[in-house]
Each structure stands twice: as C-alpha cells, then as structure tokens.
Amino acid sequence: MAADITASVPESPWWGWAPFTPGGVLPAGARQVLAERLGIDPDVEIAPPPPPATAASVPESSLGAEALGALAAAAGSGTVSQDPADRVRHAAGKHTPDLLRQRAGTPLAFPDAVVSPGARDEVAPILHACSAHGIAVVPFGGGSSVVGGVTPLRGSHSAVIALDLTRLDALISLNEVDRTATFEAGIRGPALERALADHGYTLGHIPQSHQQATLGGYAATRSAGQASTGYGAIAELITAITLETPRGQLALGGRAPASAAGPDLKHLVIGSEGTLGVITEVTVAIKPRVTHKTYGAWAFPSFEAGAAAIRALAQDGGAGDLPDVCRLSDEEETELTLAQTDGAAVRLLRRWLRARGIETPALLLGVWEGTGSDTKRRHKRAVRILKSHGGVSATTAPAEAWDRGRFGSPRLRDELLTIGVMVDTLETAATWTKLAETHTRVAEAIRSALAAGPGGAETRPAAVQGHISHVYRDGASLYYTFIAGAEADPIAQYDRVKAAANAAILAAGATITHHHAVGTEHAAMLPAEIGPLGVNVLRAVKHELDPAGIMNPGKLV
C-alpha cells in the first residue's frame, strides 16, 4: 500500500526527525550493507540523541520587559513563550551540522522567545514591534530546513525571536470553478491534503519533508515535490501569495491566469526564505484527487542510457508520458538498493538482467497518478520509448516499494547518526548537455573528500550514490546521498565534503540548489550563480521591504 499523504505524524523532536527508538529501526539489509561494505558496527551507539532540554541548558533570554510587553500586546490571541523547551525546539531545523552539534552537546543559537500568532492580522503588529525594538525575526513553520534556513541568527540586533506560524493552518477558500484553494501559510502537508481530499482534490506537492513541512515553507524555499515532474514544483502551482513585511502587505497574483503588468513579483516572494517578510496566505492550483496509480520499473545498462531515455520522454513523448514520479538511480544507488532487498527476488532479477546484457544496472522508477484509464494509457505510451532506449522491465515491485517507504529516509538518517555514520544529502540540477559531466564531477568530488581524512589520511570505505528525481524538457535534477564512518570531528568532515561538492557543482556550471534552498549553507555561493549585480538587486528589494534588516538575518543575502 502506498504511503498515506493525508496521515499526520507526531511533531519532530528538536534533535532529529522522529522519536528515538531504543535499539534502532535499521532494516536487516541496511545493517548488512553497513557492516560488510562500510565496516560500521550497526549495534554500537556512538552519538545517541541528547537528553531533554532543561532551563540550565538554555541561556537567559536577551529580551527586556519592555520588548516582551510589546510582543505580547502585538500577538493578541497568540502567545509569547520563553519556555526552554520551546526555545530549544526552535533553535535549529534539520541541518546535519546542527543535528551533530545537538548530539555532541555543543551550544546552539537559541531564539530569545517563540511568538505564535493566532490570526493572520497579528503578524503585522508583531513585525512592527520587532522593528521598533531591534528584534530579529525568523519565520518558522515545520522546521524541516536542511540548509540552516531557520537558524535563529540575530545579526546586529539585540535579540531574535522565532515566529512560529503553525497556528495559521486554515483552508480559507476553495474555488471549484477555477480549481484553486487558498490556505494560511502554517498548514502542514498532511493537513492540507486532508482538507483538499474532503472536497475531492489534491495539490500533489509531496516533498520528502511533507509530513512536517508547511505550505509557507514550500513557498519560501521554492520547494519541489517527489512528483514535481508531473505536477510541477511549488513555484508553478502558486497562483497568488500574500507577504506581510515590516513596511506593509504585498498581496500578489490571483487577478487573472496571466498578466503582462510588469515583472511577476510573486517570484520575488517565492524563494525569499523569510528575508523579505512573512508569507501568510498562499493560493495554489489543485487537481482532482488521485484514484489510481500505475507503477513501473526499468533497468538500463548505464545511468547515461537511462538519462537519455528520460530525455526522450520529456522532449519527444506526448503530454503526460513522463511519469509524475520519475526517479533514475545511478549504478551505485541501484546496487545498494538491491543489496538491501530480499535475496531470492534480487538473485532472480540479476539473472534476468544478465541474460539481457545488463551487469551493472541503473534503475528507473515511475509512478503515473490519475484515473485508472488515464494512467494506463500514459504508461503504455512511455513503455514504447523506454524500450527503444534499452530499458528492460524490472516488474512493478521496486516502484511500489519506493511509494510505501517514500518518507522513511529522514528517520533512517537519525538512526545512522546514532551509530556514528556520516550521512547526508545534497542536490543540484543541470541541463541535459551538462548532466553527465555534473553527475560524474560531483560524485567524484564527494568520494575524494570522504577518502581524504584529517591530514589526508585514508578513512573507512564510503558510499556515494545519486539519482535524478525531477525532470524537465531541458534538463534534470541530481540528488546525492553520501555515507561513511564519522570522523572524530564530524562537522569538519561534513564541511570538507560540502566544500568539495559545491566547488564541483560550480565548475560544472550547474545550480547551487534545485530545491533545498540557500539558507546559510549556500549563501556564499549565491553571487557565483546570480552575479554581484543580482545580489545587489535582492539587497535593494530587502532594504525597501525590511529597512531595519530584521527579517531572517544571515540567510540568502
């Protein structure tokens, strides 16, 4: 059965993605890979989750009585909390260096208070109070940023608050004629899908962070869902957006399906990462709820051959031929996936592929969503193109297994960190012309950085795997996972790997981020992508909307 996109889960703990399970939840196949291929003992806890936060572990707030009073008055029906547990929970997102610091007991940057508006019209007074008292504001939704996007930096200000928007979680309106829905920005992914399902619709934007992330977070980071190949990324789904800024409200879009009235200012807000203001409302295009899924999996003789087949689907296929979920694993990811799967089934598949001349396959997974007749028709057309490019059917089982476990990787990361594994992901995107070179360069850079331990010493073996997961007519995304034994200083190890990967991405002419956003992680690289003049344009817009510079300091620009 596919994962239920309407099912809510408990809120993430402050130190990871899911509550701690004594003894771990590592699948048997993953345990075998760790032990046999990477030399890691899956039964030894090296860096367990930290103990619950206490008042002694959190520094005293920098907010004075006058500022606290102003915030309380502005919040109205909302709340202003200085409780240590609230401040700890809003001290970081899910950025791997922060998770490592938490497990090591290294002090974090804490917000001085957590302010939770109870209504949209309370956001503006809160921003005005913060401007008047020199308080930095970090908008906070699901806290799922993996690039430091919600780290509570105060910059030059006297204090910093986390502005928790999760009480703003209502469906404001649904227009079945236009097929649009307007939501408050703090609604989480499952609640949004439940609200739409009640009316027979879906947004279809399902990133891996779906169970925790919010619609406002999707918009602020230019998110892409796992099915964005079919549905489009969030920037393509937003028809209107409202931004509350320290200078006033920007209400953009929604008048017409298209407009030539100057530049589309919605796209200044989408991807602004909380640096211009607070997103309070978002209107999105919706589709009829999915009633049927058709699955498929194909093995190709190489990653390059699989990419060529996907390109043919994107450029030469008919409308809808590309699967909504389109995921091509490289040879390393395919091998590790097969190594964690049932032995008899994998042996049979390997024999099947060898008989057809495929020794080291690259596996393509596809999921077509819609109605039964529609998905089957689209699937049938796609199969012709995939076969013509050397694809060999590998049954539907791998794609169905992916759909069942599509939200499991972040929880797996928690378990791996506990047993002393350095594990993280990074992503980029490139045009088809650059894709193969980018894939090779970045993977080799990561592998070399992992091998070059402290002082250049060789470390334990590493796994570097990649896949395509978002497809366009002119290119695709590339998503990497790297796994190795953690060094004595895992943050230095992480920084070394990221620096090498970033340098390779820039050298290949690819983007610094496809969907994770900039945050603090990629801020230094932004000028290389948009140029110094582009950075100045963003700074000029920020100065106009946020002259005191209180909005999410240290991110983006």
Q: Sketch the domain layout of the chain as residue ranges.
A: 171-288, 292-404
- Average predicted confidence (pLDDT) for the chain: 94
Q: Note the CATH architecture for domain 171-288.
A: 2-Layer Sandwich (3.30)
Pair 395, 299: CB distance under 8 Å: no
| Residue 342 token pair | 């049932």
As to burial, measured by CB atoms within 10 angstroms (0-12 exposed, 13-18 middle, 19+ buried), residue 54 is exposed
Tell me whether residue 385 is annotated as binding.
no
Q: Alpha helices of 81-199 — where are they, by DSSP H?
A: 84-89, 96-104, 123-133, 189-197
Checking if the pLDDT of 23 tops 60, the result is no
**Is 413 within any annotated ligand binding site?**
yes
Q: What are phi and psi of 71, to 5 degrees?
A: -65, -40
Query: What's the pLDDT score for residue 495?
Result: 97
Q: Which residue numbers are catalytic?
A: 479
pLDDT of residue 456: 64
CB-side neighbour CA atoms (13 Å) of 448: 11
Query: DSSP label at 56?
Result: G
Helices first, then strands: H and E counts in the chain? 19, 19
Contact 79, 90 (CB under 8 A): no
pTM for the whole structure? 0.96
* Residues 320-339, mean pLDDT to the nearest whole number: 94
Structure confidence at residue 458 (pLDDT): 61
List the beta bridge partners of residue 113.
Answer: 161
Q: Is the pLDDT of residue 343 over 80?
A: no
DSSP letter (8 states) at residue 525: G
In 473-549, which residue ranges form alpha helices assigned H by DSSP? 490-508, 526-545
H or E segment at 337?
Answer: helix 331-339
Residue 170 to residue 191: CA distance in whole angstroms: 9
Is 141 marked as a binding-site residue?
yes
Mean pLDDT of 375-381: 94
Alpha-carbon distance of 534 to 526, in angstroms, equals 9
pLDDT score, position 54: 65
Q: Residue 80 above 80 pLDDT?
A: yes
Distance (Å) of CA 350 to CA 5, 383, 468: 33, 21, 22
Report the candidate in 447, 442, 450, 463 with the shortest Cα–Cα distance to residue 331. Answer: 463
- Statement: residue 391 has pLDDT above 90: yes
3-state SS class at 519: coil
Task: Report d(CA 227, CA 270) in Å as an integer.
Answer: 19
Spell out the alpha helix ranges (H) of 7-158. 28-38, 65-75, 84-89, 96-104, 123-133
Lowest mean pLDDT among 49-53, 290-294, 323-327, 390-394: 49-53
Residue 116: both structure tokens together: 């939770």
Per the CB < 8 A criterion, the answer to whether 412 and 425 are in contact is: no
Report the distance separating Cα 235 and Cα 253, nearest Å: 12
According to the model, what pLDDT value does residue 459 have?
60
- CATH no. of 292-404: 3.30.70.3450
Q: What is the pLDDT of residues 122-146, one digit of tens each?
A: 999 999 999 999 999 999 999 999 9
- Averaged pLDDT for residues 157-181: 99
Is 279 known to sit in a ligand binding site? Answer: yes
175 strand-pairing partners: 180
Q: Which stretch of DSSP H or E encloses residue 464? A: strand 462-468
19 pLDDT higher than 70? no
Please work out, in degrees rounded to the nearest 5, the angle formed at the alpha carbon of residue 464 by the alpha carbons of 459 and 465.
Answer: 165
Q: Name the helix (H) or strand (E) containing 364.
A: strand 362-370
Report residue 87 as tokens: 């401040």
State the Cα–Cα distance between residues 59 and 152, nearest whole angstrom: 14
The tokens describing 504, both together, are: 């390779």
Cβ neighbours of 256 (radius 10 Å): 9
352 compared with 210, residue with greater pLDDT: 210
Task: Please identify which residue in the block is written with the tokens 């995107």.
Answer: 429
Residue 245 assigned ligand-binding role? no
Here the tokens at position 399 are: 């794609």
Of the chain, the percentage scoring pLDDT greater than 70 comes to 97
Mind listing the pLDDT tens digit for each residue in 403-454? 999 998 888 899 999 999 999 999 999 999 999 999 999 999 999 999 987 7
> What pLDDT was estimated at residue 20?
59
Q: What is the pLDDT of residue 107?
A: 84
2 — pLDDT class (breaks 50, 70, 90): confident
Does residue 18 have a pLDDT over 80?
Answer: no
According to DSSP H, which parts of 355-431 are helical? 372-388, 397-404, 409-418
Q: How far apart are the first and last CA of the chain?
A: 44
Among 21-35, 78-92, 305-319, name the one with the lowest average pLDDT. Answer: 21-35
The whole-number average pLDDT for the span 271-296 is: 98
Q: Which of 464, 482, 475 is nearest to 307 (CA)?
A: 475
| Strand duo 248-253 + 238-245: pairing | antiparallel
Does the pLDDT of residue 22 top 60, yes or no? Answer: no
Mean pLDDT, range 41-57, rounded to an integer: 81
Indicate the pLDDT class of residue 385, thresholds 50, 70 and 90. Answer: very high
Strand 248-253 and strand 201-202: the pairing is unpaired
DSSP label at residue 288:
E
pLDDT value at position 176?
98
How many residues can be counted in the chain? 557
Confidence of residue 344 (pLDDT cuts 50, 70, 90): confident
By the 10 Å C-beta count (0-12 exposed, 13-18 middle, 19+ buried), 23 is classed as: exposed
Give the pLDDT confidence of 204-225 residue by residue, as tens digits: 999 999 999 999 999 999 999 9
The helix (H) or strand (E) run that includes residue 424 is: strand 421-431
**Which residues are bridge partners to 278 per DSSP?**
244
**Residue type, position 431, single letter:** T
pLDDT score recorded for residue 49: 86
Calpha distance 268→388 (Å, rounded): 42
Tell me the C-alpha distance between 513 and 429, whole Å.
Answer: 7
**pLDDT for the residue 136:** 99
145 is in an annotated binding site: yes
pLDDT tens digits, one per residue of 514-541 = 999 999 999 999 999 999 999 999 999 9
Q: Is 176 annotated as a binding residue?
A: no
Question: What pLDDT, on the 0 to 100 scale, is given for residue 240?
Answer: 99
Percent of the chain with pLDDT over 90: 81
Q: Is 301 annotated as a binding residue?
A: no
The Cα 358–Cα 380 span in angstroms is: 23
* 359 exposure class (CB count in 10 Å sphere: 0-12, 13-18, 19+): exposed
| Cβ–Cβ under 8 Å, residues 328 and 363 | yes
- Cα dist. 530→1, 373, 437, 441, 525 in Å? 43, 44, 22, 22, 9
Q: Do 440 and 506 meet the contact criterion of CB atoms below 8 Å apart?
A: no
CA distance 113 to 139: 12
Q: Are strands 113-116 and 79-81 parallel, antiparallel or unpaired?
A: antiparallel
